[in-house]
Structure 1
Amino acid sequence: MLLPSTDVQINREKHAKIKYLLDLAGSSFSDLASSLALSPSTISSVSLGRSRSRRVEKAISERIGVPESELWPERMADKSEDAA
């Protein structure tokens, strides 16, 4: 489920890094979107920080081989606060 981010902070540098790492992995937003039955704009929106989707975050992380906690440390902090 795609959740609107309450504190939208667009991070174009991180977005560019994710796109670059996907390219190095032989993938793209379109490839990832296709495998998840979503639109590329949905993947881009999550990458930019405009919206949140744990499913998309996990898929990006797995595809590029970078832990979610490194890509979105602020989001991982939210998850640990939810558990408390």
Structure 2
Amino acid sequence: MVPRVPALRALVGSEWITLDRAEKWLKAIGAASLLAQATGLPERSNLYQILSAPTPGHILRRIEQSNETGTLNYQQLQYLEILKEVLQ
């Protein structure tokens, strides 16, 4: 069950996450937590902002802007691929 937080329910699209979607969301939350520091987003809302990004490109751009070299590593690209499964 998704907590009774309207923003979370809107993000997931329902009150319950079905078993077939649960694995995707679990992987996406894990990927978002591993990318959070690289984005430079505020710690209080970084997971939500990543998971509610319009596209993986928005997250990519945020990482590029936060990084001194403006580059991503291979692992970060893999995390973006995982997030692609749940981003709307």
| TM-score of the alignment, normalized to the shorter chain, above 0.5 | no
TM value normalised by structure 2:
0.34
Structure number with greater Rg is 2
TM value normalised by structure 1:
0.35
Choose between structure 1 and 2: higher strand proportion: 1
